[in-house]
Homo-oligomer: A and B are copies of this chain.
Amino acid sequence: MSQLSTNQPVSVSLSSLTLKAHKLEIDTRKHFVAVMSGDCAICKSAGFRSETRVNIENGGVPIIATLYISNSSVLAPGEIGLSDSAWEKLGVREGQPLVVTFAEALDSFSSVRAKLHGKVLTDSDFHTIMHDMVEGRYSDIQLSAFITACVDLNKEETISLTKAMSETGRQLKWPHYPVVDKHCVGGLPGNRTTMLLVPILAAFGLTIPKTSSRAITSPAGTADTMEVLTPVTLSVEKMRQVVDKEGGCIIWGGSVDLSPVDDVLVQVERALDLDSQSQLIASVLSKKIAAGSSHVLIDIPIGSTAKVRYQNEAEILKTLFLEIGQVVGLNLHVVETDGTQPIGHGIGPVLEARDILSVLRNEKDAPQDLKNKSLFLAGQILESCGGIPPERGFYEAQKILEEGRALKKFEAICEAQGGFREPVLASFQYVITSFQSGMVLNIDNRLIAKIAKLAGAPDSPAAGVDLHVKLNTIVEVGQPLFTIYAESPGELNYALHYFQLHQHVILIGEKQP
């Protein structure tokens, strides 16, 4: 409705917003961070301030980054420093020009605001939000607001979120039926049943293309433990070859890009430690849908230091899982298991891998709890989609394991994934012994996991904790309770220091009458 007066020409262009890329060499995980010099005239004239959200373009799709202003000599005026994540996403090289502008307001965030004022979000709302998130357009602050606003979704919203999450990445299809999968709601150290289930079920003849996660806050994820024995970062093509040949695999889910928005959300969810059943269900089921599974076993361990602490909490979760699984077209079977103590002896990738091998090899000192739980879960699947009659699944699984067919299948899967290697224990070890006699009354899952992490697990795969006692074990003064393994004396010290402050990790006393 008005125009520039022609008698005062002023050159107006976007060229003044071009800055030279500089790699900061800083790891900000999934978040895109950019830094400009406080001496930069462009930065000043453009009104950029610390924490401004900016749009950065390198020809293709722009990224949105959080900007900080620096007065150090690391950046020259006219340069823009980028975090590792931003650097990789933009695919730039040092000194390359980048166009920087203010980020426009994120349209999809208005749905999050509306949710707070009572709106029920639709398929389309969640789809747009998930798309923006996976493209890195949500800041931490906005991710946190989404997670908080959506802590308690209704059933329809949970279904919409599940579907939207499953559509953010690759969707696998298999020429087999059934396609079996399992998931454990988590919180139990050492609970590596997947690595026994897969060879047992594949040896039986079922298809189980298992994608597992790495540790986020725990001392080991299944992918970390499997990686001790064989490569787990496989392309989809390679994964298909393994499954075609052996009927099963155990690979890292991150390498085949299933529900990648989950990786974005999980960082902030962990930081908030919110308990959202809707988000838990959407996270789990979106990955199963994307993985092309038809039948999924959900394991909910219940225990005072497990993720699910009470029976009634487990029941509500179970009902929700079943209801939503049905709508999204998954055959779910949910079991509740004992979550009062760690499973097996080892906690940490190498120690857990050693346990798995000892069960597969039917060694005498193999952890019976790990073996029995795995046989129980495998049995459930054999009964629900393997044609094995009720009450016979456990024994069928036991036969496959004890006849060595599971070991053979496991070795064949490792071979197909890139070759098997034996685990090697860490050189620095420290034995914690009991200073009183009595009965083991409690083992704190969270504290024992923390000690394993401080010892270096999972980044140092051979680090961790090896438990020598279980609940109800009778111990004498001086009897070993557990051994801490570390790859360096410093890490061993750190774990020991934490133990000194948290000696109640294992509680020994008189058995209550």
Residues on A facing B (Cβ under 8 Å): 1-5, 8, 10-14, 16, 24-29, 35, 38, 41-42, 44-47, 50-51, 53, 68-72, 74, 105, 109, 113, 116-117, 139-145, 147-149, 151-152, 267-268, 271-275, 430-436, 453-454, 456, 459, 478, 481, 488-494, 496-497, 499-500, 503-504, 506-509
Contacts and interface: CB of A to CB of B under 8 A. Distances in A.
B71 A25 contact: yes
Contact of A496 (B4, B27, B72, B434): B4
Nearest to A507: B1
A28 B144 contact: no
B142 A140 contact: no
A1 B504 contact: yes
A454 B140 contact: no
B496 A41 contact: no
B45 A494 contact: yes
B148 A272 contact: no
A12 B454 CA distance: 13
A443 to B, nearest CB: 11
Contacts of A454: 46-47
Given A50-B28, A141-B272, A144-B145, A16 B507 contact: no
Most buried by B among A24, A45, A69: A45
Contact of A69 (B3, B27, B68, B273): B27
Contact of A497 (B12, B29, B142, B148): B12
Number of copies: 2
A1 B506 contact: yes
Nearest to A478: B5
A70 B29 CA distance: 11
Contact of A47 (B38, B47, B453): B453
Nearest to A435: B3
Interface of A is mostly: mixed
13 contacts: A1-B436, A1-B503, A2-B506, A3-B434, A4-B432, A4-B500, A12-B496, A16-B493, A27-B70, A45-B493, A113-B273, A144-B145, A145-B148
A506 to B, nearest CB: 6
Nearest to A269: B141
Given A27-B50, A47-B494, A141-B268, A151 B1 contact: no
Given A3-B435, A432-B4, A494-B45, A72 B149 contact: no
A27 B453 contact: no
A70 to B, nearest CB: 4
Contact of A148 (B116, B271, B496, B499): B116
B13 A497 contact: yes
A57 B506 CA distance: 31
B271 A51 contact: yes
B72 A24 contact: yes
Q: Which 9 A-B pairs have the closest CB atoms?
A: A25-B72, A144-B144, A3-B435, A45-B490, A148-B148, A45-B491, A26-B70, A141-B144, A25-B71
Nearest to A17: B494
A271 B103 CA distance: 12
Contact of A68 (B5, B27, B116): B27
Contact of A274 (B26, B53, B113): B113
A46 B503 CA distance: 19
B16 A26 contact: no
A475 to B, nearest CB: 9
A285 to B, nearest CB: 22
A51 to B, nearest CB: 6
B496 A10 contact: yes
A432 B5 contact: yes
Given A50-B29, A74-B74, A497 B14 contact: yes
A1 B453 CA distance: 22
B507 A70 contact: no
B25 A51 contact: no
Contact of A2 (B117, B435, B494): B435
Contacts of A489: 10
Nearest to A487: B45
B38 A27 contact: yes
Contacts of A14: 497
A435 B152 CA distance: 54
A307 to B, nearest CB: 15
Nearest to A110: B273
Given A5-B478, A47-B453, A144-B145, 15 more contacts: A1-B503, A1-B507, A2-B435, A3-B432, A10-B492, A12-B493, A12-B496, A12-B497, A13-B497, A16-B494, A26-B71, A27-B38, A113-B275, A117-B275, A140-B144
B152 A116 contact: yes
